[in-house]
Structure 1
Amino acid sequence: MSLLSSFAEALASGSLEVVDLTAPLSSTTPVIQLPPPFAQTARFELEELSRYDDRGPAWYWNNFRTGEHTGTHFDAPNHWVTGRDGDDVASVPVRRLVGPAAVLDFSDRVAQDPDFLLEVEHVREWEAAHGPLPEGGWLLYRTGWDTRAFSQEDFLNADESGPHTPGISPGCARWLAEEAPVIGLGVETVGTDAGAAHSFDPPFPCHAALMGSGKYGLTQLQNLDRLPPTGALLVAAPLPIVSGSGSPARVLALVERG
């Protein structure tokens, strides 16, 4: 039996499960909020064109408007100034849209401290238990934050000092960008950086380091609790927007079930 035939059989039998890691995209999807005077991203909007009526008697369709970085989305290298000469989202090689995933679960730490930051030592501890991060794969950072995704207020978790959401330390961001074998970072929060990352040195270190190294980001993932620490295969499918800095994406994981 060929490799693809075996793959198809595993899908049909259920021994290979497809887990959707994508948050539903609607007008209530949380969006990042930047302080003035910075420009703000658009919420998702549908504009009905026809719905089986005199505008189109046999069909239903819509226009939509949204920001590139709304909902579950893919960050391309040119999204950040450090990667300004890098690939736009349409230029990302398709072979890099499929790869193995390592799931690092620190939801217990985040439950105690919403500002929890992942450090290199935490990754090393995980590697001691599960093996090295996958070459050409993704580090998926589970924090439990997806349970807040149905409320803009709870998701951003902001007070007078700014948002309080988990993320990556500046040192760990540099390590992921420069030394780790992964091609990208996936998170459950509104962006790859912590809520307090505006005050880090440098500011927004995940964006600065990863985009500057030609690596990628995935945000607002869900259902990471359904994935094993190792062994899942990630499929990230952004729209190939020419000159785009990113795109809403459908993100799937393939998981073997016994």
Structure 2
Amino acid sequence: MLYFTVSRSARVSPGTVCDSRSSGTVADYCKGVGTNMTSLVTLACILCACVLVRSEVTVIDLTHTLGPRSEGYPGNPKLNFTNIRRGEGYLGIWQEMNWFSVAEHIGTHFDAPRHFCVDAWKAHEIPIQRLVGPAVVINLTAEAASNIDFGVTNETLIAWENDNVPIPDKAFLFFEFGWARRYPNWHRMFNPRQRGRVQEIHYPGLAHSAVEWLVANRNVHAVGVDTPSPDLGVSKTFIVHRMLCENEVVILENVANLDQMPPYGAMAYGGAVKLRDGSGGPVRLFATVDNSAGVFSFSAVLLTLIICFHLA
């Protein structure tokens, strides 16, 4: 419950007006203030202070730890981590330094639009404003559990919006297939199957119709998946990558902990490495959920009532 108290010894301003029928802490405070602008500002400051004290923000880490076991699409080398110094050195001061090299597209990482479009942004050219946006999480774990090659269509997106909210402008649109639980087990992530001389890989993703609908009807900053790629595992044309990159949509792959996210209402932040001429790179992806929205709403109503009471 949001409340405030004011000392009964508060100085009474000239011209004070107060309804004697009022009671409680608001009435007590009213006896000590006037109807001038200073009084209104004072009330606003007190209420804002109360709100700030009660504000609660949950931070959700959407990033797998980067290390020797980090996985990515076939063909990417493993991370190399080498210790340079560890221990007490000059004057007995502890010091630790390491050297590492890593492929752009392993672990939780981003694809710059240049990854599949020659004229699009490279990693260092992505505007910082494109690395933050309202988060939307579409949970498709049940569909992926029953069909490893499940593809999201335009009908999937339209149905989700009908049951929830329209995908907001500048959104980070995430698809949860339940694949984070498989990471970093390569065989469970890629589900390889041999067909003659060709080894096929299998995991869910987006169909062409979904991306076509998205770029035509919504303005999203990023599309993220908990799988190795937004394209279906069986895709040979990478049509989803190509369409997203051509429309300068950042791609986020191997996203973690989407099961901790609300369907909407959070804010997502992509701390992408600003690698010159890069086609992507590691990202420290996280989201924040504001749990104090109800307190702000109540405070706004209370402030309005008090101002009206003073002006009456």
- TM-score category, normalised to shorter length: 0.7 to 0.9
SS of alignment partner, residue 149 of structure 2: coil
How far, CA to CA, are the matches of 1:85 and 1:178 in structure 2?
A: 20
TM-score w.r.t. structure 2 length?
Answer: 0.73
| 2:257 is aligned with 1:257 | no
Structure with bigger RCO (C-alpha 8 Å, 6+ apart): 1
Q: 1:127 aligns with which of 143, 146, 161?
A: 161
**Structure 1 equivalent of residue 20 of structure 2:** none
Letter in 1 for 2:131: L
| 2:267 is aligned with 1:233 | yes
The number of aligned residues is: 241
SS of alignment partner, residue 98 of structure 2: strand
**Structure 1 equivalent of residue 221 of structure 2:** 183
**Structure 1 equivalent of residue 208 of structure 2:** 170
Deviations 1:209-239 (A, max 9, x none): 0001111100101111111111010000111
**Structure 1 equivalent of residue 56 of structure 2:** 15
Whether contact under 8 Å (1:189, 1:221) holds in the other structure is yes
**Structure 2 equivalent of residue 50 of structure 1:** 85
Deviates more, 1:150-159 or 1:204-213: 150-159
* 1:108-257 equivalence runs, <5 A: 108-161=142-195, 162-198=200-236, 203-257=237-291
Deviations 1:44-65 (A, max 9, x none): 1201111116799731111111
How far, CA to CA, are the matches of 1:103 and 1:236 in structure 2?
A: 15
Whether contact under 8 Å (2:131, 2:221) holds in the other structure is no
How far, CA to CA, are the matches of 2:212 and 2:103 in structure 1?
A: 27
Listed as ranges, the gaps of 5+ residues in structure 1 are 34-39
How far, CA to CA, are the matches of 1:57 and 1:193 in structure 2?
A: 50
Letter in 2 for 1:216: V
Whether contact under 8 Å (1:177, 1:215) holds in the other structure is no
How far, CA to CA, are the matches of 1:190 and 1:226 in structure 2?
A: 19
| 2:138 is aligned with 1:97 | no
Letter in 2 for 1:23: H
Whether contact under 8 Å (1:78, 1:84) holds in the other structure is yes
SS of alignment partner, residue 42 of structure 1: coil
Q: 2:71 aligns with which of 8, 24, 30?
A: 30
- Alpha-carbon distance, 1:178 to partner: 3.5
**Structure 2 equivalent of residue 60 of structure 1:** 96
How far, CA to CA, are the matches of 2:245 and 2:163 in structure 1?
A: 29
How far, CA to CA, are the matches of 2:179 and 2:235 in structure 1?
A: 17
**Structure 1 equivalent of residue 35 of structure 2:** none
Listed as ranges, the gaps of 5+ residues in structure 2 are 1-43, 293-312
Letter in 1 for 2:84: L
